[in-house]
């Protein structure tokens, strides 16, 4: 049950972020202290649509099947990699300090997925 809730939250956040990126990528990147050229803006809009699709998929799929701890651990790995990318972007000066806040959110998400997956695995064992 806890994993289903995490997937619903993750789906809503991912879909919302994707929607914002697909509509107004310049706003997001201005907040991060950088800008986009025309080609990068097109790519970021496509990434936003992809994120929107993944988020909606998580929302729709989370109630349709029993979510196992492997799926949660997969999300933990992806969130950890995203955090690492954001930390590197912050340290290198590509993004401003907001990237560290975003990285902290991803680290928290990865930790939650790991804890809940571990608890779910213990319950099934």
Report which DSSP code applies to 24: -
Asked if residue 97 and residue 72 are part of one domain, the reply reads yes
- Domain stops at, among 22, 47, 65: 65
Neighbours of 65 (CB within 10 A): 9
- Which pLDDT value is given to residue 61? 76
Asked if residue 88 and residue 56 are part of one domain, the reply reads no
Asked if residue 80 and residue 42 are part of one domain, the reply reads no
pTM across the whole model: 0.82
Asked if residue 119 and residue 73 are part of one domain, the reply reads yes
> Residue 42, Cα to own-chain centre: how many angstroms?
20
User: End-to-end CA distance of the chain, in Å?
Assistant: 16
Asked if residue 39 and residue 94 are part of one domain, the reply reads no
Asked if residue 2 and residue 28 are part of one domain, the reply reads yes
- Which pLDDT value is given to residue 8? 85
**Cα torsion angle, 12, 51, 73, 123, sign:** positive
Q: Side-chain half-sphere of 44: how many Cα atoms within 13 Å?
A: 17
- Domain stops at, among 14, 41, 65: 65
Q: Which domain holds residue 104?
A: 68-125
Summarize the confidence of residues 54-60 as an average pLDDT.
Answer: 88
**Domain count of the fold of the chain:** 2
Cα-based distances in Å from 109 to 8, 22, 78, 83, 120: 13, 23, 10, 10, 16
Asked if residue 102 and residue 56 are part of one domain, the reply reads no
Asked if residue 84 and residue 33 are part of one domain, the reply reads no
- Which pLDDT value is given to residue 6? 81
- Domain stops at, among 65, 100, 116: 65
Question: For residue 2, is pLDDT > 80?
Answer: no
């Amino acid at each position: 049950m806890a994993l289903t809730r995490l997937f619903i939250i993750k789906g809503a956040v991912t879909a919302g972020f994707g929607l914002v990126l697909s509509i107004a990528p310049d706003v997001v990147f201005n907040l991060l202290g950088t800008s986009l050229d025309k080609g990068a803006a097109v790519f970021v809009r496509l990434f936003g649509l992809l994120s929107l699709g993944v988020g909606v998929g998580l929302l729709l799929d989370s109630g349709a099947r029993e979510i196992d701890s492997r799926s949660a651990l997969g999300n933990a790995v992806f969130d950890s990699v995203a955090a690492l990318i954001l930390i590197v972007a912050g340290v290198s000066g590509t993004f401003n300090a907001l990237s560290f806040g975003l990285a902290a959110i991803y680290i928290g998400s990865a930790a939650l997925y790991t804890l809940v997956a571990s608890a779910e695995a213990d319950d099934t064992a």
